[in-house]
């Protein structure tokens, strides 16, 4: 079963690789995604924006400066221009030559991984609705939509994805979102899960959201202590820059439970 609904009542650790295997490879590149997939994470998380000529590309920041050798707004460049840029050497010279991927290229890579879940983040921008429409259409074409949860810090995009497409959404605490709509039919009523940073994560915030019917999802528990803390708070959905600690702890918990399972059967 690879449908995203599987997460609804799940209590086992589920690991999403944040922007690919971000701890070891340049974020949001096909190599970072390939390495995350090879490490058998449950889910990939990635960020979407629009090129000047209307192509959905995978990049986190609104500008090119941090993660490429270019500068200025991503949306001021055509895809052909974006493809001229290097998206690897900023992380380590050994990765020189990596490019900003399109969503379509990522979809092609995902063909070989029919079980992996997808956390699709639509970054806030004046193009966000167009990005959302194009991403939904492409993920649908590839047959991936059933395994997607959509994220945005723009509450208007959360509402749009929920109302127009009936998709599963991940939002954030109100103070972190733009266009937040309070009230019973507002943003929280359209959020399936809430992303809670390790800085904000407490048992109380998890309970407060649970009281609203919203499951919590932590980011980014990258070391053992944070993984255990996330579990203590009742949060098993984890987006990690380094997925290894969470995956190892999941394995250790499963192994420790085995003799007990045998006794009970």
Alpha-carbon distances, residue 55 vs 103, 145, 243 (angstroms): 8, 19, 30
- With CB under 6 A as the contact rule, the residue among 231, 239, 245, 250 that binds ligand G3P is 239
Q: Which lies closer to ligand G3P via its Cβ, residue 47 or residue 107?
A: 47
**Distance between CA atoms of residues 33 and 35, nearest Å:** 5
60 is annotated as an active-site residue: yes
What is the size of the binding site for Ca ion (CB under 5 A)? Answer: 2
Q: Tally Cβ neighbours within 10 Å of residue 68.
A: 24
Assess 121 for contact with ligand G3P (CB under 6 A). yes
What is the size of the binding site for ligand G3P (CB under 6 A)? Answer: 9
Residues in contact with ligand G3P, shown as a per-residue x/- string from 149 to 178 under the rule CB under 6 A: --x---------------------------
**Distance between CA atoms of residues 141 and 8, nearest Å:** 25
Listed residue (241, 254, 201) closest to 41, CA to CA: 241
Contact of residue 154 among ligand G3P, Ca ion, none (CB under 5-8 Å per partner type): none
- For 115-142, b/e burial (b = at least 16 CB within 10 A) is ebbbbbbbbbbebbbebbbbbbebbeee
Residues in contact with ligand G3P, shown as a per-residue x/- string from 16 to 45 under the rule CB under 6 A: --x--------------------------x
Q: Min. distance of Cβ 250 from Ca ion in angstroms?
A: 22
Q: Which lies closer to Ca ion via its Cβ, residue 15 or residue 185?
A: 15
Assess 222 for contact with ligand G3P (CB under 6 A). no
Q: Which lies closer to Ca ion via its Cβ, residue 70 or residue 195?
A: 195
Structure-derived torsion over alpha carbons of residues 45, 235, 223, 67, reported in degrees to the nearest 10: 20
- The residues, any chain, with a CB within 8 Å of residue 184's CB and separated by 6 or more, are none
Report residue 108: phi and psi, to 5°. Answer: -65, -45
Contact of residue 219 among ligand G3P, Ca ion, none (CB under 5-8 Å per partner type): ligand G3P
Of 6, 60, 127, 251, the active-site residue reads 60
**Distance between CA atoms of residues 50 and 237, nearest Å:** 28
Assess 195 for contact with ligand G3P (CB under 6 A). yes
Which residues participate in catalysis according to the annotation? 18, 60
> Residues in the site for ligand G3P, rule: CB under 6 A?
18, 45, 47, 60, 121, 151, 195, 219, 239
């Amino acid at each position: 079963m690879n449908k995203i609904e599987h997460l609804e009542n799940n209590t086992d650790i589920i690991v999403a690789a944040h922007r690919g295997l971000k701890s070891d490879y340049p974020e949001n590149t096909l190599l970072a995604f390939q390495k995350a997939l090879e490490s058998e994470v449950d889910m990939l998380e990635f960020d979407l924006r629009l090129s000047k000529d209307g192509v959905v590309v995978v990049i986190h920041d609104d500008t090119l400066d941090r993660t490429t050798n270019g500068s200025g707004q991503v949306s001021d460049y055509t895809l052909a221009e974006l493809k001229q840029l290097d998206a690897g050497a900023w992380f380590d010279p050994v990765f020189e030559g990596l490019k900003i991927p399109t969503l379509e290229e990522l979809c092609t890579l995902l063909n070989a991984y029919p079980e992996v879940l997808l956390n699709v983040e639509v970054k806030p921008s004046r193009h966000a609705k167009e990005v959302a429409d194009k991403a939904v259409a492409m993920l649908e074409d590839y047959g991936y939509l059933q395994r997607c949860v959509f994220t945005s810090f723009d509450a208007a995009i959360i509402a749009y994805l929920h109302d127009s497409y009936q998709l599963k959404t991940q939002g954030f605490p109100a103070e972190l979102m733009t266009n937040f709509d309070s009230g019973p039919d507002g943003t929280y009523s359209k959020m399936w899960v809430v992303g809670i940073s390790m800085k904000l994560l407490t048992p109380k915030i998890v309970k407060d959201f649970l009281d609203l019917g919203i499951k919590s999802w932590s980011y980014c528990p990258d070391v053992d202590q944070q993984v255990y803390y996330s579990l203590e708070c009742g949060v098993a959905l984890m987006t990690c820059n380094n997925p290894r600690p969470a995956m190892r702890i999941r394995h250790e918990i499963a192994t420790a439970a085995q003799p007990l399972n045998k006794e009970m059967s």
